[in-house]
Structure 1
Amino acid sequence: MQNSELLESFIQEAGEVMTGLEAGVAGLHAAPGQQFAQEMESLSVLAHRMKGTAGLYGYPQMSTLSGLLERLLDSRPRLEGEHQQQFLSLLDTINSVLRGGLNALRRGGSDRDLGLIFTQEGGTALLQRLVQEVPGEFQMRSARHLAQPQPDQEDQAAPAEAAPQGLEGELRQFVKDNAEVWEYFAPEVQEHLTSLRTELERGEEADLNVMFRAAHTIKGSSFMVGLQPLGDFAHRLEDLLGALREDAVPNTPEVQGALHASVDLMDDLARVAEGAELSVQARHDDLLGRLRALATGQLAAAAPTPAPTPETAGLGAGAPINSSIRVPAQRLEALLEQVSEVVTARARMTRLLERLDDLQAGMQTSQQRFQRTVRDFEERYLNPDMVRVTDDSGASMGSGNLMEQFAELEFDSYNDLNILSRSITELSADFAEVRRNLSDTVASLGEENEKLGKLVRQLRVDVSQTSRVPFTQASTRLRRWARQQQLPFDLHVEGEDVQLESNLLQRIVDPLLHLLTNAVYHGLQGGQTDPEQRAAQGKPERGQVWLRAETKDSFIDVTVADDGQGLNLERIRERALERGLRSAQELDQMPASDVARLILLPGLSTAEQVGSVAGRGVGMDVVATAVRSLGGELLIQSERHIGTAFTLRLPITQRILDILKVDLGNATVAAFPVSSVRAIRDLAPQQISEHQGVLHAPFQDEQVPVIDARVLWGVDVAAADPGASLRLVFLSTVSGLVAVRVAEFGSIEEVSVTPPVGLLGKLDYLAGTTVSVTGEALPLLEPLGLLRLTRRPDLWLDSRASSESGLTRRVLLVDDSLSVRRLVGRMLERGGLQVETANDGQEALDKLQLDDTFDAVITDLEMPRMNGYELISALRARAQNTHTPILVMTTRAGDKHQRLAFQLGANDYFTKPVNEALLLRRLGTLLSAQPQGIPA
């Protein structure tokens, strides 16, 4: 755990619980029969506390093992003799493993190996033996009691294989008939239930959009696999959450109680399906009616839903998450061959390193000889006082005439200079030989290193292939969903042999299901399109839907297309305005491609009616959120009466990759994936143009948006030379090109990348972190995230210059509703604006006649004395307010209302309830064109 204080708190709390558990189990060894059962009941509370505490602090293995202990104790088995000793031994084993896990956490370790340790210490074998030998003793206490025949029913023997009865029987029969489906469905449901619980625990800060998406996904997945009871219940929960999100019902304690009870019930439905002996029929029927009544406002105040009885499941574990991947034997053989080649290459490099050691020893010997020769020469000529001259005639051996004798014999004479010269010549030859050998060895070492690099790269590619599975694993489930719809359309699947990362494939199944639902129930209009009308348009009588997967460069494209009616852009504009998601002025200026992307916003749907599978405006929001979390992009192509295609363009996951290092200045470094780098350029300032506040650079007949990574990373560029050339790295993304300005280009390295976590994980322009070969910590920048930032320069450009004057913009808010004035006024104040209000148009006009320093006016339309239209006309007739930005904020979304407002001089038009971010953004845009502090 990252936080040491939280870790210490957990260890202290869990240590107290463990002490109680160990003392209690020790007491069971000597407890008589009745007391034995009572002791187990009290110990069950401690086990439950341990399970919840471990789960809360993020230790899943410890929580799971504590949950097993709780289930064992809750069953309160009546055991005797050897079976009782085995049961006690099992409890001792669980306590021992839990205590060991707690000690490991105290030493800085983790709990990830507790399940393996439990198995190694014989816990799993003991558990299986007990369940097999005395299975009846490990049922629920309440279930076993119900199973006992009553005195007046002992003669009524039930058949051995009774047909499943009621809701419980239907759930269990589903898992029995669809075991393979349950393997992937159950973990998905639990993930969304966890999301619901997390938001409920946040109370008033809960994100209703997140909760709505979770319930919507559970519903859709349940209907897809055929689990009707869970799908129907999730649908009712979705209705209530939708009403809450639309403010149609108040968020009362009764509603909160129903939400908590609903999440608990859905969890119990899944447990019953897996074999838990729980009675859920009555709770299900009661909650179903309560959810319907609360969602429609028919049950404004009611008693909280009673909590479920404290029953626990049997020992049957939940459906395991299938985290294993089937790898063909041929691929494993190829990997083993490559590993053997790597081992051989390493042996060759080891031999070359030994040769280098020998050469080093030879160079050291030559160096010593050279130093000795130079030292002798220095002693004779550079330091003559150190030379001892002797007059001993015996020692001189007639040296006086020795040279003469040599001359007479015609011998070569050697003085010290000759000797030094010859020594240096010999040493030079030695050094030349060593240099030649060293050069050959280094060359061989370089060749071996290059070969090893190729082997490692190929091994890296092949190992990454082992984690990939064919697209057919997802398409099979989607084909099944299509068959179950019983609608007149055909699903065509292409690219089923395309290989995707297993984790990636699992995470795109839900988005693909939403896209298929959208294609059938929106694009094909629910399969109700007139065959004659389709024939007149040159289309087959049955609707056509395509699901296509293909690999492009370093991306995977998964497309869902239909030949339906295409997106109704006018209807999308209307709904966006009605929902307050965009202003009228923004919608008028939007190109068709941007209007089409509005369907990705939460709550926007063009459906006329809300059904059980479509019409709530949440499906495309789920898709966009999922794709963005995977670092990808959702592309939309649509043509009216021709069809629509949605493409999930996702990057291929790589854990080891080549990076380009760059210097951002002030000793700040970063990196880009080499696979995304299209080019690096030095461009002169005059080659750079500006469009809508964003710099653009030319590249291959295209103007590419530029983002300054130095500014983004907080590097001070104030002292930089404005006339200096721009060093740009051009990067390719799933949505186009982006140019990133850096201080200096660096080198290319091969590194291992760690995905960002915690707070860093929220930065979509950060792909991960790594450590260079020189030990530098490098942020790896995500090209697609950088491209998104170029579309919102206000998020990263230095805005200090705009606030240096310290003046505050003043806004006049005009509305006859006190609650609206207070709510919207707080929005504006949070945006740094000074707000003054008026009850109607006449009061607003009076204030403007006395004070002309308001920078903008926001007005309602329907007001007493003077309405909004009259106020706009009056302001535009005054010279002082000719250019004052006027924004209309009303419940009227009709086209005629908008046209009249704009004709009279309104600058923008919003519908209530107004979106805070939208209002502040549009107001900021309009005010930015006005000189600050100067009356309009």
Structure 2
Amino acid sequence: MSAVPDDIAADFIIEAQEILDRLGEQLVSLEQAPEDADQLNAVFRGFHTLKGGAGFLAIHAMVELCHAAEDTLGKARSGEITLLAQHFDAAQQSLDYLQSMLDAVSAGREPTHAPPALIAQFDAHGAPPVIATPVAAAAGGGDLISEDEFEHLLDALHGDAAPGAKALPASPSPAAASPAAPKAAAAAKPAAEVEHTVRVDTKRLDAIVNLIGELVLSRNRLKTLRTRLRDEELDRAVSTLDIATARLQSAVMRTRMQPVGKVFSRFPKVARDVARSLQKEVDLELIGAETELDRNLVEALADPLVHLVRNAIDHGVESPALREASGKPRSGHVRLSAQQEGDYVSIEVQDDGAGIDPERLREKAREKGLIDAEAAARLSTDECLHLIFLPGFSTKAEVTDISGRGVGMDVVQSRIRELSGTIQIQSELGRGSRFMIRVPLTLAILPTLLVQAGEHVYALPLARVVEVLHAPQTSLGWFDGRAVLDRRSHTLPLIDLRRWLGVEPSPAALLTVVLLQAGEARFGLVVDQVRGREEVVIKPLPRALRGLPGYAGATLIGDGRMALILDVDGLRASD
């Protein structure tokens, strides 16, 4: 690699990653419609731009591989060849190698060259194409670009360059010669319409978010003091501060938001690769890619979603022959969708495959000793479906490279819970399955319901609260040694928070019960008092409580006291 400024190299890494993410989706679309000239041009430009930037940085391995892809795509653009399955396979494999090369560059290592067989696969006749040897940052390097041209490349990647815009100088190969648009094309846009962006280190954004969190805590404290002091002037000042804090909080949070499309863009390639390895036919539909989430959540959701999509194709979608035999289209359908719902975002992975047999899950869990026969017999259909989240649970008869439903699904659920989210399942035999994830827009500030047990205050994630109700002690029943409440023809199990904490339960004649949602199940939490809703800033648990079930974090509330944030799933499981 050449000695170039660190900031230029860092910019290239960021932009190259965005190009790679887009190329996976673009290649799948082109394979489905090879006659689409616009998509072919977009894929060509992607490899061409990567080659230009890599050439400027003298990343020879990337230049070599991108040139091979670009050369074949250029011949397809000119009508010299028709793209074949081998070309698409080679292009998709090249993305994996380019990703490894980019990771090496990010880590300061010299990338490894792609196998010669892969480069040869790009040639329509099986013979390796003639590849120009990249020259280091010296005069006359055909694959290299100047620093000014590189800066223009980075500007273009932000969206200012339209399809067919100025192509950067590449190798002398005829396939790489693109028509250049006037340099002033972007400048022709009226100044008022030009969007200006500034790169900001994410650590700075995180620091600002932390400061906003402290401001929110101070605001909550002042609001509590306001009710005690009852001073009209103070009341107006606190109200003004409250409004300004809310606006500032919203503005800062928006700077951290990213569309889930940043993650969704990789799934067409994932679906294609998995389907081909299993000899299945699958159409992937993406909906709501523009839905925005906190960038930390977008990145954290990537692995769970990959697992769910792979499982939908592996265990959900049947083989083409089986689908035809059952009257279904040969090609299976998997839908990945996202939409905002208030302070939360719902993400769903749905397939039209064979569905999940709850009775088979019940039997498998019993056979593996994950649940005893008596408990298994009492499970409802929905509870049976959630057995796949038990550690070590699987219904798959043989192990393959593709994770089956149940293999690692406990990890998926744990990861979603770490994000203060929930995951639920719906399935119908012969019709398919649907996995529904719900996560907050941001993890920095959490809407909660404050409750009291004894002298201590606890916070419950508001997303898990269904309703608050009151019930006389005399209305309680008992089942399997635990208190239950008949609620709208359903038996609702109760957990007394004081008893769970190891404190003598309240002797009150009228119980205050917070109805909570845990997966498909609901239960009631008996508390002494409900204090109301409050936005809290999540802090790490005290060292003595780390690892204990039922606790998700800590926070400071308006009266200055520390309150523990309860983990609803852990609370129910540990009772």
TM-score by length of 2: 0.57
Find the counterpart in structure 2 of residue 729 from structure 1. Answer: 514
2:307–2:403 Cα contact (<8 Å) kept? no
2:341 corresponds to 1:552: yes
Find the counterpart in structure 1 of residue 457 from structure 2. Answer: 669
Match of 2:554 among 757, 769, 773: 769
Question: Distance between the aligned counterparts of 2:94 and 2:395, measured in 1?
Answer: 23
Match of 2:296 among 486, 503, 506: 503
Deviations 1:248-281 (A, max 9, x none): xxxxxxxxxxxxxxxxxxxx99759967469999
Match of 1:226 among 83, 96, 101: 96
Match of 1:533 among 309, 317, 325: 325
Find the counterpart in structure 1 of residue 255 from structure 2. Answer: 466
2:281 corresponds to 1:493: no
Offset at 1:613? 1.9
Offset at 1:589? 4.0
Higher relative contact order (CA 8 A, sep 6+): 2
2:506 corresponds to 1:713: no
2:383–2:520 Cα contact (<8 Å) kept? no
Distance 1:590 1:725, change over 3 A: closer
Whichever residue aligns with residue 354 of structure 2, its letter is Q
Residues 360-439 of structure 1 aligned to structure 2 (within 5 Å) = none
Find the counterpart in structure 2 of residue 684 from structure 1. Answer: 472
Offset at 1:472? 0.4
Partner-residue secondary structure (3-state), 2:266: helix
Match of 1:592 among 354, 360, 381: 381
Distance 1:770 1:455, change over 3 A: same
Question: Distance between the aligned counterparts of 1:495 and 1:574, measured in 2?
Answer: 38
Distance 1:606 1:783, change over 3 A: closer
Match of 1:479 among 244, 251, 268: 268
Whichever residue aligns with residue 303 of structure 2, its letter is D
2:305 corresponds to 1:512: yes
Distance 1:224 1:629, change over 3 A: farther
Distance 1:513 1:176, change over 3 A: farther
Deviations 1:797-851 (A, max 9, x none): xxxxxxxxxxxxxxxxxxxxxxxxxxxxxxxxxxxxxxxxxxxxxxxxxxxxxxx
Partner-residue secondary structure (3-state), 1:624: helix
Question: Distance between the aligned counterparts of 2:105 and 2:197, measured in 1?
Answer: 42
Partner-residue secondary structure (3-state), 1:226: helix
2:442 corresponds to 1:653: yes
Find the counterpart in structure 2 of residue 743 from structure 1. Answer: 528
Whichever residue aligns with residue 502 of structure 1, its letter is R
Distance 1:590 1:773, change over 3 A: closer
2:338 corresponds to 1:542: no
Bigger mean CA offset, 736-745 vs 630-639: 736-745
Partner-residue secondary structure (3-state), 1:716: coil
Question: Distance between the aligned counterparts of 2:466 and 2:411, measured in 1?
Answer: 32
The structure in which a higher percent of residues are strand is: 2
2:310 corresponds to 1:521: no
1:565–1:640 Cα contact (<8 Å) kept? yes
Whichever residue aligns with residue 349 of structure 2, its letter is V
Find the counterpart in structure 1 of residue 17 from structure 2. Answer: none
1:603–1:616 Cα contact (<8 Å) kept? no
Whichever residue aligns with residue 472 of structure 2, its letter is A
RMSD over aligned CA atoms reads: 4.4
Partner-residue secondary structure (3-state), 1:618: coil
Question: Distance between the aligned counterparts of 1:571 and 1:642, measured in 2?
Answer: 17
2:552 corresponds to 1:760: no
2:310–2:402 Cα contact (<8 Å) kept? yes
Distance 1:443 1:124, change over 3 A: same
Question: Distance between the aligned counterparts of 2:95 and 2:406, measured in 1?
Answer: 22
Question: Distance between the aligned counterparts of 2:356 and 2:424, measured in 1?
Answer: 14
The structure in which a higher percent of residues are helix is: 1
Question: Distance between the aligned counterparts of 1:669 and 1:756, measured in 2?
Answer: 15
2:320–2:330 Cα contact (<8 Å) kept? no
Question: Distance between the aligned counterparts of 2:406 and 2:531, measured in 1?
Answer: 47
Whichever residue aligns with residue 411 of structure 2, its letter is V
Offset at 1:469? 0.9
Question: Distance between the aligned counterparts of 2:453 and 2:107, measured in 1?
Answer: 56
Residues 608-647 of structure 1 aligned to structure 2 (within 5 Å) = 608-614=397-403, 618-647=407-436
Deviations 1:688-712 (A, max 9, x none): 2333433334566655432211122
Higher Rg of the two aligned structures: 1
Whichever residue aligns with residue 437 of structure 2, its letter is L
Residues 809-828 of structure 1 aligned to structure 2 (within 5 Å) = none
Offset at 1:329? 6.0
Whichever residue aligns with residue 551 of structure 2, its letter is L
Question: Distance between the aligned counterparts of 2:464 and 2:374, measured in 1?
Answer: 37
Whichever residue aligns with residue 553 of structure 2, its letter is G
Offset at 1:727? 2.4
Partner-residue secondary structure (3-state), 2:258: strand
Whichever residue aligns with residue 96 of structure 2, its letter is G
Partner-residue secondary structure (3-state), 1:505: helix
Distance 1:669 1:451, change over 3 A: same
Offset at 1:734? 5.8
Partner-residue secondary structure (3-state), 2:347: strand
Whichever residue aligns with residue 664 of structure 1, its letter is A
Find the counterpart in structure 1 of residue 16 from structure 2. Answer: none
Distance 1:739 1:584, change over 3 A: closer
Question: Distance between the aligned counterparts of 1:710 and 1:699, measured in 2?
Answer: 22
Offset at 1:736? 5.6
Distance 1:544 1:769, change over 3 A: same
Question: Distance between the aligned counterparts of 1:602 and 1:674, measured in 2?
Answer: 28
Whichever residue aligns with residue 282 of structure 2, its letter is F
Offset at 1:470? 0.6
Question: Distance between the aligned counterparts of 1:510 and 1:751, measured in 2?
Answer: 28
TM-score by length of 1: 0.36
Whichever residue aligns with residue 308 of structure 2, its letter is L
Offset at 1:516? 1.2
Question: Distance between the aligned counterparts of 2:321 and 2:94, measured in 1?
Answer: 23
2:355–2:427 Cα contact (<8 Å) kept? yes
Distance 1:547 1:601, change over 3 A: same
Find the counterpart in structure 1 of residue 36 from structure 2. Answer: none
Question: Distance between the aligned counterparts of 2:409 and 2:337, measured in 1?
Answer: 18
Offset at 1:494? 1.0
Deviations 1:181-227 (A, max 9, x none): xxxxxxxxxxxxxxxxxxxxxxxxxxxxxxxxxxxxxxxxx989635
Question: Distance between the aligned counterparts of 2:94 and 2:409, measured in 1?
Answer: 17
Distance 1:229 1:611, change over 3 A: farther
Offset at 1:583? 4.1
Question: Distance between the aligned counterparts of 1:569 and 1:615, measured in 2?
Answer: 16
Distance 1:584 1:499, change over 3 A: same
Offset at 1:552? 3.0
